[in-house]
Structure 1
Amino acid sequence: MKNFTDWTRRMQGAKLMLYRLNENGCLNLCPGVSKKDGNKVYHKAIFDWLMSDLAHIEKYLSGEPYYFTNHKRDSKGKLLSCDISLTRPTIKR
């Protein structure tokens, strides 16, 4: 039980740190994506995914791969939203 309590405290601390950095505008979760390519949408998807579960924070910090899925675009092709998945999406041919 002690290990679980220690893990929970570490992940809660990481969650609070992420929240504060995001609140202050110091957090860039997708540095390789330009504004034109939907940086804000991808950032929001990652941030919301991280805040939804402490296990997601651990997976993110350990470098486990995640994938963007369910891309929604407007009529002009601008990215409006997307989701995060831990399973690699299949390509339809």
Structure 2
Amino acid sequence: MYRKREQAVCHRDGIKDTPSLDHCVPSCGNIARTDQHAADLRHRAELLDQQAAHTPQPVGDRLRANAARLRGLADAHDRTRITFQEASR
């Protein structure tokens, strides 16, 4: 993991000067996702789309937008991930 403390946007509790993993922010440059995380994001997006199909339009639109955002995060992971082979060069 390439964590840079000064760039962490997660909540710090004032007691310790380290990021808190339970306060991760998706836009943080320090975030690390695995391929399984990306698959989970896509699965969650699929569930949201299914729910949106049976929900009135304003709420359904928000569910579909959230599904698209999750797919975007998964796609970004696929484009920028570092594989073991690349890391060992």
**Could you state the TM-score of these two structures normalised by the residue count of structure 1?**
0.32
Structure with the bigger percentage of helix: 2
The structure that has the greater radius of gyration is 2
Structure with the bigger percentage of strand: 1
